[in-house]
Amino acid sequence: MRNRQYSAGMLIILLGIVILLGKTGVFSFAAGMFWPLFVLAPGLLFHYFYFARIMPSGVLIPGGILISVSIIFFICNVFGWDHMAWMWPGFPLAVALGLYEYYLFDHDHPKGVLTAAMILGVLSIVFFSFTILFTPGIYFLAIALIVAGAALMLRRPKY
């Protein structure tokens, strides 16, 4: 009987802790920060299905897209959703990565898929460049150019 009372007491204490953590907002914070795991998990699952030879290589397209998009969501969760102003070109890049992964692991290596992946990848890089130029990222580019120019000027020539 003593063990039953001890177990019931422990269960009541744990229930009280869970209620207390819920009322203080711990669970809502955790759910708010880690919800991209629900996007990441299916992407990883698609990769597992392919590499375990359960499904064909076509599942790598949505798998690559979901993993890439979940990384964007994690970055925005950690650093703030205002960063989406310059992170949005990551979405077409996610499709490009999914297509490229399909091209890479498919035995036929379909050329049209590689072409589509390259076009989307180049467009994403162009869009990233534009967003960097028209957002506060231009300051980082200016500082990098100043540092590179100073390094060229201060470098001693080899004789």
Predicted confidence pLDDT, tens digits, the chain (159 residues): 577 777 777 888 888 787 777 777 766 766 677 889 899 999 999 999 999 999 999 999 999 999 999 999 999 988 888 888 888 999 999 999 999 999 999 988 888 999 999 999 999 999 988 887 777 777 887 888 999 999 888 887 776
50 with 112, same domain: the answer is yes
Contact 63, 101 (CB under 8 A): yes
User: Residue for token digits 């180049």?
Assistant: 122
pLDDT at 27: 67
Instruction: Say how far apart CA 49 and CA 62 lie, in whole Å.
Output: 12
52 with 98, same domain: the answer is yes
List of E strands, 101-140: none
pLDDT at 1: 56
Instruction: Read off the DSSP letter of residue 70.
Output: H
Q: How many angstroms separate the most distant Cα atoms in the chain?
A: 90
Instruction: Say how far apart CA 68 and CA 121 lie, in whole Å.
Output: 13
19 with 67, same domain: the answer is no
146 with 94, same domain: the answer is yes
Does residue 63 fall inside a structural domain?
A: yes
16 with 46, same domain: the answer is no
What is the number of structural domains in the chain? 2
Which residues constitute the domain of residue 48? Answer: 35-154
27 with 100, same domain: the answer is no
- b/e sequence 54-70, b meaning 16+ C-beta within 10 Å: eeeeebbbebbbbbbbb
pLDDT at 71: 94
The pTM score is 0.70
pLDDT at 147: 93
